[in-house]
């Protein structure tokens, strides 16, 4: 019984590629497996060159070997793409009814100050009825010590981020970037579900990419027509 032939390693397969093809394959592996974008990044002028190159047996063998060495089988990759495809901000955000009003001093309100300026006075010299004519009576209030206040915003609901609920929904892994400010405010971005769906669609061959043909250096295809005359006089 003979041993099965040893399969070449990813490094061996990569060494057999030209420098340009190796660059394309490595770019394809690091950009989310986007052949067209990898072709553009490697300065190929024809948009269809990337999708064509990825079908070459030598390039596809190197890509598969690299993925296998990283222990990322096709099933694992598809599973991750399906997970990202379900990214939804609804797993993180909660909208709670929360009636709130925000008030500032009347003499700090831009519209009030402009109106006072037009009248040749200052904002702190205006009275309640003056403010009511500018911003509406329901938006004017007075504190116990006589300071006039103007409502600048009213909220009927409040949006909050519920991380515990996101964790229960097993959605935290879909977060691509997260930033916590000095004030504790959290900004985050999810992995793009549209991009994940696009890659899944390509794997399932749900659509066919448009292939464009061109001549040398991306120019027009040159067509030569040869006419043969049959039966003419010699």
Q: Residue 217: is its pLDDT beyond 90?
A: no
State the pLDDT at residue 35: 87
Residue 60 near residue 54 (C-beta atoms within 8 A): yes
Query: Of 71, 56, 55, 74, whose CA–CA distance to 17 is shortest?
Result: 56
Q: Residue 55: is its pLDDT beyond 90?
A: yes
Rounded CA-CA distance 31/217 in Å is: 25
- The more confident residue out of 22 and 69 is 22
Taking the CB of residue 35, how many other CB atoms lie within 10 A of it? 24
Lowest pLDDT segment from 69-83, 84-98, 127-141: 69-83
Taking the CB of residue 72, how many other CB atoms lie within 10 A of it? 13
Residue 80 near residue 174 (C-beta atoms within 8 A): no
Alpha-carbon distances, residue 223 vs 215, 217, 226, 228 (angstroms): 10, 16, 10, 16
State the pLDDT at residue 73: 66
Alpha-carbon distances, residue 157 vs 88, 99, 152, 185 (angstroms): 20, 6, 16, 18
- The more confident residue out of 5 and 65 is 65
Alpha-carbon distances, residue 202 vs 58, 73, 183, 196 (angstroms): 21, 17, 43, 10
Q: Residue 69: is its pLDDT beyond 90?
A: no
Q: Residue 209: is its pLDDT beyond 90?
A: no
The winner for highest mean pLDDT among 37-41, 56-60, 77-81, 170-174 is: 56-60
φ and ψ of 231, to 5 deg: 85, 15
The pTM of this model reads: 0.41
φ and ψ of 178, to 5 deg: -145, 140
pLDDT digits (tens, 9 = 90+) for 139-157: 888 888 888 898 887 766 6
């Amino acid at each position: 019984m003979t041993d099965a032939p040893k399969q070449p390693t990813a490094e061996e397969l990569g060494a057999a590629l030209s420098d340009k093809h190796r660059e394309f394959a490595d770019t394809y592996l690091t950009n989310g497996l986007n052949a067209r974008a990898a072709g553009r990044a490697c300065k190929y002028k024809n948009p269809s060159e990337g999708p064509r190159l990825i079908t070459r047996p030598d390039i596809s063998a190197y890509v598969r070997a690299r993925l296998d060495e990283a222990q990322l089988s096709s099933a694992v990759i598809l599973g991750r793409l399906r997970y990202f495809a379900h990214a939804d901000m609804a797993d993180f955000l909660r909208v709670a009814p929360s009636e709130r009003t925000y008030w500032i001093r009347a003499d700090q309100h831009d519209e009030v100050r402009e109106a006072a300026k037009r009248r040749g006075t200052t904002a702190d010299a205006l009275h309640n009825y003056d403010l009511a004519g500018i911003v509406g009576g329901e938006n004017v209030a007075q504190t116990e010590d006589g300071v006039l206040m103007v409502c600048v915003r009213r909220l009927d609901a409040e949006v909050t981020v519920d991380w515990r609920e996101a964790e229960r929904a097993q959605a935290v892994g879909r977060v691509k970037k997260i930033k916590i400010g000095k004030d504790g405010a959290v900004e985050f971005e999810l992995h793009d579900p549209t991009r994940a769906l696009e890659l899944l669609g390509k794997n399932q061959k749900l659509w066919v990419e448009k292939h464009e043909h061109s001549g040398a250096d991306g120019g027009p295809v040159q067509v030569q027509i040869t006419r043969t005359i049959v039966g003419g006089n010699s």
